[in-house]
A and B are shown apart, each in its own frame.
Chain A
Amino acid sequence: MIKSVENTRVVYVDDHPHEFEEGDTILSLIDRHYGRGFVPTLCDAPQLEPYGACRVCSLEIAQTAEGPRRVVASCHTPITAGMHIFPESKNIQRLRRNIIELVLTDHPLDCLTCEVNGNCELQTVAAKVGVRDVRYPEGENHLDRKKDLSHPYMTSDLSKCINCDRCVRACDEIQGQFVLSMHGRGFDSRIIKGLDSTFEDSDCVSCGACAQACPTSAISDIFQSKSIEASAKTRTVCTYCGVGCNLDVAVKNNEVHSIQAPIDAEVNHAHTCLKGRYAFKFYNHPDRLRSPLVKRDGKFVEVSWDEAYDTMANRFKEIRARSGPDAIAGISSARCTNEENYLMQKFIRAVIGTNNIDCCARVCHAPTAWGMQQSFGTGAATNSTNDLEKTDLILLIGANPTQGHPVTGARIKQQVMKGTPLIVIDPRKIELVPYADYHLQLRPGTNVAVLNMIAYFIIEAGLVNEDFVKERCEDFEAFCENIKKLDIDEMERVTGVDRNLVKEAAIAYASAPRAMSFHGLGVTEHFQGSKTVMLISNIAMMTGNIGREGVGVNPLRGQNNVQGAADMGVQPHQEAGDLNVTLPEIQEQYEKAYGAKLSNKIGYKIPQMFEAALDKDLKALWIIGEDVVQTDPNSAEVKKAMESLEFLVVQEIFMTETAHYADVILPATSFLEKSGTFTNAERRVQRVNRVVEPLEGTKPDGQIVVDVMNRMGYEQKSYSPDVLLEEISQIVPFFKGIRWDELGKNGKQWPVAEDGTDTKIMHRDTFKRGRGKFHYFDWVESKEIEKNRDEFPFILTTGRVLEHYNCGTMTRRTGNKDIVSEDILAINPKDADNKGVESGDKVRLFSERGEVELDAIVSSEVKPGILYTTFHFPEHMVNMVTSEEKDEESMCPEYKVSAVNFEKVSPSDSTVKKTEETVSSER
């Protein structure tokens, strides 16, 4: 309470003085001081803009304590200094009661059997205002409206609707999808989906923001997320993409009931996509592995954990003794926690004695980590996603965030719809393109050429931030000289993008006071992937777009913890904390910490592991949570590599394409059954809290690794995130101040100083490496194209859909499969016409490596000569055709450019025999 009545920022609530904040409404002030719900409301929601429909939050205000009072809606009435507020006067109580009485004249009174009984905002408000009677004679009502149960997840029962418009606003203000609207006017107005159809037939993307926003059960979901049946809620972090959404998971009897998005989550503010909110039923799916398996006579038999561990310990020891530690490798998992990844690399380094440790970052953002380290000194996002609200321009390169990173995608869309300019550099007309100011629709494989052109035009327009470059960077002159020599005619030709468009976009980027770039796998998964990353860094540096709010270079990391996996040392050339394994003085420190002798030879990257296996140099491999057969390029070769191994351990939650080749299969747990931390794309280390007990017969990945370490004679304490974080904080410099108990609800963004201060924006005053370094690279045609373009004249590029995650191991075992059930090949109308292909036709897609059959969709999302598909379904094994070409620096596969051809398949002459083992394994 405030003493000084002289204070100019004071208002009085029932004569009690309170200080207000800039931008306060009366309701926000009262919520803060008296708690949410003190002033009742039905249409206001913290995640939505003030709306002013229900009027239940009305209260009285006056200029002086005794002055004449006026009734206003508190949700949208701004505070003015000295205001006197009377939130609960007799008059107000009567008015609120009267409004609720009116609402109840058109609302079913079946509360006891209603989904939201006990958690209905109307019920709560009715109770608070004390309605005892509905005095109106029975009149017209809408109680006979039919339910919509058409959709795999979303449901509606509009007889329960109170027309607060929250769902419509959620769809607009949060997701930006505009699937819902009010229809008609007055008493007959009602919610519609699409052109008055159903959830199923509308363009709904099932994010569930409407269901969460709805104050009654008018819109909900099949999990009845708002019921209070499951009272225990645990907050954890989503297992899917690198956005790192917080989830509130409701549990009953050790079973997950439903998931909602916490309103106070800094990352996702009451929002998630359908994967986070609804695609959780995989976790106790009947297909889950529930016992360790050992292959005997070509068949898997169930064994005890002890037997599995003994087999592993014996084989690893035996192979190491015979062929040395470098004959053994590990692939850890970006789906696992930091602590688990830390343990796995520690096992490989300290227990086995090799640096043969890698993870799926190799196939996604290894070029980002490498490239940004070269430019800035740190291979991670420079800024925070929240900066989107502060930026003046967004540059999106090779990413499709509305599908791949849906919550970030929706946030970008929100900004762009409201007028923030967007430049998209992508071979496809992705969902954000129609909202963008510039779309540089380049030919796949020409990122370097386009970015060089951008640099050229920035220099030409005199828009280089000279001060920034001079004070904070190096090697600009050499870069500049090379750029000036660029053959723009040639670049225009190879990229297929009009030079004037590139010029305009370059000028827009360089002129924006704050420009923020985001990039995805369309940048990294290329022959020149790492170089592209460095060029993105170049244009950010030359325009001074580093080290401030609303700027920066921000990779959209793919997996939930791919940032963390690398940070924890799951890479063959760097230890936990990104320190170089070849430097003896560094290795010495680690040796001391681990109490073991370490190798200072750089280990195998994943593609090298396959090669080494084929060459019989690599004999044993332990893979955690990664289906390399389905997801790595050129599946046939990967399969051969798996077959060549003497000993393969696969640690998984489901049987996968890769697991078929294993000698030992270990049943691990999903994210819902373990604790630890994930690090999202903006370096935010967040707490993953165990929601349910591990399924019977399974163990958390970290525990398995600990068990094997102990079994092999290395003493490691039982898996526990607090203990491990303590250990990690001693080893990883940027984790210094991270403590399990201090991470709070929203985590901390590394580097975290010893005192616990975290870092929202990196490279503020100096770069991590001192000066930001400019690099110049010529554009070079991918060897894949050089070699194969004559025989295979089309370029295939691959990506993801919203509904599925990677190879679909999890999402294919959820309702998402009812929404999208196959990979489809997008073909430009011109090409389709030439080949006589129509939408829905089966086509054979083939390359030098192999062939697959897919259904076609004729679409102008791709230019002529370009094909696009996804790789979620093992039935299709799209990676049978993808290229083996790799990023020169990081060996990240060039998924985005494969020389292919295609033809229509008539139903009778289907030439592709679906790989038997593939199909039969998928029940």
Chain B
Amino acid sequence: MSKNLSALSFRKGLEKNLFEKMVESAEKTGTAVSDDLKIMAEEYLIGDAIMLGAVSFYDFLKKENEGKKVFYCNGTACMTAGTQDSLKKNLHKHFKEEEIGEICCLGRCHENGSFQFKGVNYSGKNENDIDQIIGGGDLPSSDEYNTGSIFKTPVLLAGFPGLDEYYELLKKLLDRDPVSLLDELKASKLRGRGGAGFPAGIKWESCRNVPAEPKYIVCNADEGDPGAYIDRYLMEKRPHSVLFGMIMAGYLIGSNVGILYIRAEYPDSIAIIEQSIKELQEKGYVGDNIFGSDFSFRFKIIKGAGAYICGEETALLASIEGRRPEVGIRPPFPTEKGLFGKPTVVNNVETFSCIYHVFTVGGEAYSKIGTDASSGPKLVSLDGNFNKPGLYEVEMGTPFAEIIHNMGGGFRVPVKAVQVGGPLGGIVPVDKIKDLTLDFESFKENGFLLGHGSVVCIPESFPILQYIEHLFEFTAAESCGKCFPCRLGSVRGQEMAEKARKEDYKIDPELIMDLLDTMELTSLCALGGGVPLPIKNALHYFEKELRPHLKNQTIAT
């Protein structure tokens, strides 16, 4: 990472930051204009190349995006649901080939056929709807999905009682010493919900203890996993739970700024969070001296620009700074040197959302929810191949079968496996569902990964080789390109899978295992390092299906 660029960006502050300017520059034509880049380069003293290098990284800023008018979702759920071909056909009636772009993913995995037009998301359920939407008809963009909680009194799904009542808790907590509140948080054993499961209390405490100013709270709202719409739900339906969590983080670690990095694929989330912040400002629940305390806090929303890797925290921070969102080395961890090289807490939306309950019931009580190692509630999102697709709240440790078969109502079509935790999560063959409980440990012990908690079905009819190709392809498309194993390995993997699928090419089991081991063990981040897991799962559990595509031997996974 460039210390210089980071420091130069810091000089200009957050108010109107470099990345926002890049995004703004692309608004008219779909790509950032050279003249604007020059002006920005001069203003920030960072050179034309750096500007172009940064914008060329993002799907919605790069040159190739110029003139795109409509974007169809190429996410996994839309793919396995088989809605993409007909959607594309319908879009072609209205648009030229070069006007149609791809987007990944809109988080409408429960309805599928989704696309974005004029900055608004739709689920293109049928030809008629699509014609109407494009033709300017007044069709609502809203989607519908089931929600349900395993708890008698829902936690994250709990209804919103109104601003005053909700923020009464904040008022109370601001009277308490941040250090004792941190102890409470640690006692809750809350673990990060973004996928890595790092204890939130320990992260916050270490950030608090770094003697540098200013400090930042960053909400990772770049829920890029195709199949996941958990964070989307929270931001759109329970926005104050997210904001409350961030304010508390600010109070606990000594930061006055909370930044939400929300992906461009979620326009409604951005609008609703924006509105919610406005409400808080009007009430004086954020701003200077909240509730008459010494504590001040303000929010900043940053809209993403189409790059899955920005869900990786160091890339996300680079993105906010206006640098190329490439993955940085660790240490230093963001808690020591994060945004602009200053101590930063980065947490996922759902993690922040849990904070309200932690301080409502107390750390100790919270820790009793779920299992010993994985405390609390967890949201899961089920895709359109379930009978009851939607978003469910479960207790950590809930039998996975309960979620699949009871809450989700089982599968709509014959399904051979589910992928849990996004493209980097494990592929669980249906006969293994019964062995799992929904928590970090159970999935890990069984050779899978809970990740962020999305569930995508792989129908019987969907060739597993094609699914492997899709995973490699996704990785290749989203790889930042910095580390060699991911940049090169994902493409070579995809080429092998495609060749085996389309031609009489047989994959060498030794070669693909060499490739997967290398990516898994040596990649810089969890993208290149993570994708081998589901592919290895697929090779292991679907060896029979794959055998015709393999060179003689069987695979030793």
Contacts and interface: CB of A to CB of B under 8 A. Distances in A.
B408 to A, nearest CB: 34
B52 A192 contact: yes
Interface string B462-485: 000000000000001111111111
B53 A182 contact: yes
A195 B37 contact: yes
Contact of B52 (A105, A135, A162, A196): A196
Interface stretch (A411-419, A459-467, A684-692, A747-755): A411-419
A137 B7 contact: no
B34 interface: yes
A165 B326 CA distance: 12
Interface in A46-67: 49-56, 58
Contacts of B514: 94, 98
A55 B330 CA distance: 14
Interface in A332-361: none
A229 interface: no
Interface in B24-41: 34, 37-38, 41
Contact of B491 (A52, A140, A165): A140
A165 B482 contact: yes
Interface string A154-196: 0000000011010001001100111111111111110011111
A99 interface: yes
A78 B37 CA distance: 38
A194 B491 CA distance: 28
Contact of A54 (B46, B480, B484): B484
A202 B49 contact: yes
Contacts of A169: 2
B53 A76 contact: no
A95 B37 CA distance: 40
B521 A102 contact: no
B37 A55 contact: no
B331 interface: yes
Contacts of B522: 55, 58, 71, 73, 95, 99
Interface string B510-537: 0100110110011110000000000000
Interface in A185-225: 185-189, 192-196, 202-203
B329 A194 contact: no
Contacts of B41: 178
Given A55-B524, A185-B480, A417-B7, A192 B49 contact: yes
Nearest to A184: B56
Nearest to A141: B491
Contact of B481 (A135, A172, A186): A186
Nearest to B4: A417
Overall SS of chain B's interface: helix
B490 interface: yes
Interface string A138-164: 011000000000000000000000110
Contacts of B69: none
Contact of B496 (A102, A137, A203): A137
Q: Which of A135, A172, A178 has the most CB of B within 10 A?
A: A178
B501 interface: no
Interface residues of A, number: 61
Interface string B521-557: 1111000000000000000000000000000000000
B56 to A, nearest CB: 5
A189 B478 CA distance: 12
A192 B3 CA distance: 20
A361 to B, nearest CB: 35
26 contacts: A49-B3, A52-B482, A56-B484, A94-B517, A98-B518, A99-B485, A135-B508, A137-B495, A139-B491, A178-B41, A178-B47, A182-B326, A185-B56, A185-B307, A185-B479, A186-B476, A186-B490, A187-B479, A187-B491, A188-B481, A192-B53, A194-B48, A195-B52, A196-B52, A418-B7, A434-B45
Interface of B: 2-5, 7-8, 34, 37-38, 41, 45-54, 56-57, 62, 307, 309, 324, 326, 329-331, 476-485, 487-492, 495-496, 499, 505, 508, 511, 514-515, 517-518, 521-524
Given A105-B488, A183-B56, A186-B491, 13 more contacts: A73-B329, A98-B518, A136-B496, A136-B511, A139-B495, A163-B481, A181-B50, A182-B481, A187-B488, A195-B52, A202-B48, A417-B45, A418-B7
Interface of A: 42, 49-56, 58, 71, 73, 76, 78, 91, 94-95, 98-99, 102-103, 105-106, 135-137, 139-140, 162-163, 165, 169, 172-173, 176-189, 192-196, 202-203, 414, 417-419, 434-435
